[in-house]
Structure 1
Amino acid sequence: MSKFVKELIISEIESQIGEVRDFVVVDSAKLDAITDNGFRLKLQEKGISTLTVKNSLARRAFANAGVEGLEDVLKGPSTLVWGGEDIVALSKEMSKWASDIENLAIKGGSTEGTALTSDDVTKLSKSPGRMELIGEIVSRILGPGAQLAGAIKGPGGTLAGQIKTISEGDES
């Protein structure tokens, strides 16, 4: 491959990944064409992109883009996967696919410059996602306020009931 062609491929990889810094790398080389195509289409429906790369060119593209942590996992057949809501959602999706498709193997990944092994990706897939964490934070913030409102409303409701009873003339 000529130097000009290599530079074209590197610039294409850089343009496709853009500003993304969270990746999972899988080995999909053993998949048959029908399974691989179905896999990619289902991921695309969920806003997840895939790109099968030549490792040496991908390393150079990542170095140019400032992405770190993928040097060790870019060995052998590699398909880059990125997108989705966050790295946890991406890890959950790829772990699900790896368990559903026999010949699909997670090789590792990278998040914010930190390298992830395949075990790290699996562990990350079991942690709560971004929306789950936001929901938990909101419920913890609202919890004391709801308790305070209940404490204030209880005696107030009792007092209002007593005032209503007195106003109706049913004094005891």
Structure 2
Amino acid sequence: MDRSGKQKLVSEIQETLKDAELVVITQQSGLTVAQVSDLRRKMRAAGAGYKVAKNRLAMLALKGTKYEGLEKLLKGPTAIAYSSDPIAAAKVAVTFAKGNEKLKIVGGSMGADVLGPDAVKALASLPSLNELRATLVGLLQTPATRVATVLQAPAGQLARVFGAYAKKGEA
């Protein structure tokens, strides 16, 4: 790769990291092209991205961003997973690492806070933003459903009482 290609890659990574809420650093020793492609596909499906870059170029890209603290994690064959959702990249990376021992979570960063591998795994166990929204909507709808049921109950009981009296009067 020539100098202009490297500069383009560095600026591309910087642009990507500006919108990211979470960055996860992984080590990928021995992954095949098919496995990396599968990981990228899963990342895209979750709204995240996965970028393999030389450590030197990645360090240059991290300079001037809120993720400068990650430079010390860039040792060996590393890659960067990122997402605007604060959980998506961690979920996909941790799930993939469980099924493939060749991918190792080195650490990550949420804003300026550098996270260790255990913190990234704990973050991955949290429900996603969409799951939290669904839970919240469910909690908000439940009281309304209960109120409607309670309001309908007296009318139903009254109808059953009238029905019983009607049957008694016929007999």
**One fold, TM greater than 0.5?**
yes
The residue correspondences of 1:137-152 to structure 2 (distance < 5 A) are 137-152=136-151
Aligned residues: 171
Distance change in 2, residues 1:101/1:4 (3 Å): same
Structure 2 SS opposite 1:80 = strand
1:79 offset after TM fit, Å? 0.4
- Give me the whole-angstrom Cα distance separating, in 1, the residues matched to 2:130 and 2:2: 46
User: In structure 2, what is the Cα distance between the partners aligned to 1:138 and 1:11?
Assistant: 40
Alignment correspondent of 2:25? 25
Choose between structure 1 and 2: higher helix proportion. 2
Q: 1:15 to 1:112 in 2, by over 3 A?
A: closer
Asked whether 1:76 is paired with 2:72, we answer: no
Counterparts of residues 152-163 of structure 1 (less than 5 Å)? 152-163=151-162
Q: Give the partner amino acid of 1:25.
A: I
Partners in 1 of 2:20 and 2:26 — Cα distance? 17
Alignment of 1:28-39 (within 5 A): 28-39=28-39
Shift of 1:67: 3.8
SS of alignment partner, residue 26 of structure 1: strand
Amino acid at match of 1:64: G
The CA distance in 1 between the partners of 2:66 and 2:126, in whole Å, is: 27
Q: How does 1:83-98 map to 2 (within 5 A)?
A: 83=83, 86-98=85-97
Aligned-residue offset at 1:171? 7.4
The residue identity in structure 2 corresponding to 1:24 is V
Secondary structure of the structure 1 residue equivalent to 2:136? helix
Quickly say closer, same or farther: Cα 1:42–1:152, change in 2 above 3 A. closer
Structure 2: runs of 5 or more not aligned: none
Distance 1:114 1:11 in 2: 22
Aligned to 2:100: 101
Q: Which amino acid aligns with 1:54?
A: K
1:49 corresponds to:
49
Distance in 2, Cα, partners of 1:139 & 1:33: 42
- How far apart are 1:40 and its partner, in Å? 3.3
State the TM-score, normalized to the length of structure 1. Answer: 0.76
Query: In 2, distance between residues paired with 1:121 and 1:16?
Result: 20
**Equivalent residues of 1:69, 1:109 under 8 A apart:** no
Q: Does 1:60 align with 2:60?
A: yes
Cα root mean square deviation, aligned: 3.2
Q: Distance in 2 between matches of 1:152 and 1:41?
A: 50
- Give me the whole-angstrom Cα distance separating, in 2, the residues matched to 1:42 and 1:132: 18
For normalisation by structure 2, the TM-score amounts to 0.77
Q: Percent identity?
A: 28
1:117 and 2:116 are equivalent in the alignment:
yes
Does the 8 Å CA contact 1:49/1:81 hold for their aligned counterparts?
yes
Whole-angstrom distance in 2 between the partners of 1:6 and 1:86: 28
Deviation (angstroms), 1:154: 0.7
Shift of 1:76: 2.9
